Every structure is written in structure tokens, then in C-alpha cells.
Amino acid sequence: MTAELAEPASKVELPASVGGGEIPTFNVTLRVRRYNPEVSPEPVWEDFELTMYGTDRVLDALHKIKWEHDGSLSFRRSCAHGVCGSDAMRINGRNRLACKTLLKDLDTKKPILVEPIKGLPVEKDLIVDMEPFFQSYREIMPFLINKGHEPTRERLQSAEERARFDDTTKCILCAACTSSCPVFWTDGQYFGPAAIVNAHRFIFDSRDDAGDMRLEILNDKEGVWRCRTTFNCTEACPRGIQVTQAIAEVKQAILTRRV
Amino acid sequence: MPTKPAGTLYRGREGMWSWVGHRVTGVVIFFFLLVHVLDTSLVRVSPEAYTSVIGAYKNPIMGLGEAGLVAAIVFHAFNGLRIILVDFWKSGPKYQRQLLWGVLGLWVITMVPFLIRHLSIVFSAIPGGH
């Protein structure tokens, strides 16, 4: 008897005071900015009254609309857990991932405003054309360029060298930063924070040899110098990347290292 | 039930609004400089015309305008130093918000004595005042 193993934690009956009780529900209005060029050339706001749980995210509310109220609502999502970067949208006026924004953290007394991200052409409802965003991303050559002989084993790097660009490896290309940038809204040619973050990731990588080429690309009129340090990108990043800091480091690298 | 079609304003924070303030004060200062270059160049046309134009500025409305102009220049100057620090000081981006509070603090410290001095001169010079 005494040798019997304890139950795994997940199977232990919890008293009601500790948890496992009813999840509280509440009513919330989601005001979604909808656009369908086949119906109207102008976007419209549409309200949806929903009963949601305290554990639900904005994405769950959008799912509920799409699955139970109006199947024509269009939005992107893939992993639904903050990794794929598909569901960046403007929630109550700020760029957020719908899958990382809990409804209970928003003011549910007032309607929750959900809009597509700004500065990219809207295709339908919350779906925007990401092509200009990825065009900038491709231009900074987001891949390792090494001119030396290919080693027979992995390319070694010290922990300090790896830490130098750790912050900018976290990018998931959701476009929350680029589409929060006032410069990008008015000047679609600007590379935008996301492209600069991904350039930073290779410029400061000790294994990469094309840092100078990337600095040259970003020294362009539409490159890092367009940044006006509004910090909207840093505030919008769902991965907590210090985007403006990274842009400032690239600016300094252009001025001090060469060019 | 579709409602009003206008989109929302992006809810940026201190960084975005300081940038908006920098832009607005920059444009204000530009228009002042335009007028300033014109009225100062008048002295080469005719010193009398220059004196009469400058004399026309000596009224309370222009006095308040001057107070606004100095307010704009002081903000633009201190925030400009903040932007330089954000770009070139290693910890600038980390402390940008504290730097903005510093800018606003310095703005108040500069503006309060200036306004006391300036407005007392402007309003004591009103005809009938003295």
C-alpha cells in the first residue's frame, strides 16, 4: 500500500476553492471593421454581441463570429498560439495578435474595436496584402551569407557573440511593428521596422559576412534614416523585441563601422 | 448593423505623441521664420517701414503669439536633444519615456519664469495700463 505511486498532478481532484469551478462568462460587443469590395467600396463597422468566457482571447471571439454568427467574416490565423504571426490586427486602436490578447484584459463594458493593420492594402475584412511587407523583408537578404570555406562541422560561435543579436531572432514576421509605424503609413517605400530587425539579426551575427552589404542597403533614403523613433513598433511587438533599439544600433553601425 | 465608416486613430503612446508635437512645433517655427525673414529684410527696403511693422507687433494678441512661439521653440529644442540621445546614446531607447518627462520638466522650468516676465511686460504696456 505504502509503495503505491501518487497520482499525476493533473488527475488529483481539486477542491472547488482551489480551482476547477465554473469559468465566468460575460457579454461583450465586438465591433469589427468589415470590407468587401464586391459589396461596397467603403469599409463598414459591424457589431456582434457575444457571450464569452474569462479564458477567451479576441481570436476565440472572432472564431465564434465566424462559426456561429457570420461565416463570411475573413481573417488570417494559423497556429493560434502567438508563434506563426498570422493574426496581427488593430485591437482597440493598437496592433496586437488576436491570439495573445485576452478579452478580460480589455474594457468589456465598451465595444471592442477590431480593425485590419494600417498601411497595407486591405483585401477583405481583416485580411491585408502582405506583399509590400515581404518585399522589404526579401531586400535585406534574410539568410546567412558566408564567404569562407564551408566547415565540415557546425559554425561555432561564442555565447557572447550569440547574445549580441538574440533579441532580433525572435521576430515572427507578423507585421505588427511595420504597420504601427506612422512613417510607413504615409511612405510605403520605407523598409519598415520588421525588415530592419531582420537585417540586424544578420548584421550582428559573427558567422555572417554580408553585414556591410546590408548596411549599404539600409543606408538608403528609404532605409533606417526614415525612422523617427516614435516607439510604436517597440510597443506593438508581440514578442517584446526592442525594435527601436535595434534600428538605433543599425544607424550607429552605418555611421561608425564604415559607409 | 453597420455603423459609421471612419476608422480609429492609432493609439500610440508617449513616443508617438512627442513625435506629433515635434512635427507640429517644427511647422509652427517654420512659418515664424518665414515671416521673420520677411520683416527683418524690410529694414533694407526702408527703416521706417521696418519700425512701423515691428511696432504693429506690440499688442497683447501678438504678445500671446510670442508666448506660444517660445513654448514651441523650447519644446522643439529640448525634444530635439532627446531624439539625438535616443539615436546615439546606448541607453537612449530604453529611457526614451523618462527622457520625455525630462523634456517636459525642463519645458516647465523654462516657461514659467519666461511667461511671468514676458506676460507682465506685454500686459503692462497696454494703452491705459500705465
Predicted confidence at residue B7, as pLDDT, reads: 75
Residue B2 confidence (pLDDT): 54
Q: Does the structure show a pLDDT above 50 at B109?
A: yes
- Residue-wise pLDDT for A102-150, tens only, equals 999 999 999 999 999 999 999 999 999 999 999 999 999 999 999 888 8
| Separation between Cα atoms, residue A39 and residue B2, nearest integer Å | 13
In a domain, B20, yes or no: yes
Residues of A in contact with B19 (CB under 8 A): 182, 228-230
Q: Is residue B119 assigned to a domain?
A: yes
Decide: A139 and A217 in contact? Cβ < 8 Å: yes
- Residue corresponding to grid cell 532605409: A223
Q: What is the pTM of this model?
A: 0.86
Measured between CB atoms, does B55 come within 8 Å of chain A?
no
pLDDT on residue A30? 97
| Domain-embedded: residue B22 | yes
Structure confidence by residue, pLDDT tens digits, B33-76:
999 999 999 988 899 999 998 888 888 899 999 999 999 999 99
Q: How many angstroms separate the CA of residue B8 from the nearest CA in chain A?
A: 6
* CB within 8 Å: B93 and A115: no
Q: Is residue B128 part of a domain?
A: no
Whole-number pLDDT of residue A14 = 64
Is the ipTM reported for this complex over the cut 0.85?
no
Residue B40's domain is classified under what CATH number?
1.20.1300
User: Residue A218 above 50 pLDDT?
Assistant: yes
* B3, part of any domain: no
> Is B21 an interface residue toward A (CB < 8 Å)?
no
pLDDT at A60 over 70: yes
Residue A221 has pLDDT above 70, yes or no: yes
The number of folded domains in chain B is 1
Cβ-nearest to A180 among B5, B10, B86: B10
Q: Between chains, do B87 and A234 touch, taking CB under 8 Å as contact?
A: no
Judge whether A126 and A89 are in contact, CB under 8 Å: yes
Q: What is the mean pLDDT of residues A33-39?
A: 95
Interatomic CA distance for residues B79 and A231, integer angstroms? 14
pLDDT surpassing 90 at residue A11: no
Q: Is the pLDDT of residue A75 over 70?
A: yes
Q: Is there a contact between B11 and A228 if contact means CB atoms under 8 Å apart? A: no
- Is residue B9 one of the residues assigned to a domain? no
Within a domain: B1 = no
Q: Does B129 touch chain A (CB under 8 A)?
A: no
Residue type for position B43: V
B104 occurs within a structural domain? yes
Q: Residue A185: which of B9, B3, B108, B30 has the closest Cα?
A: B9
Domain that holds residue B93: 16-123
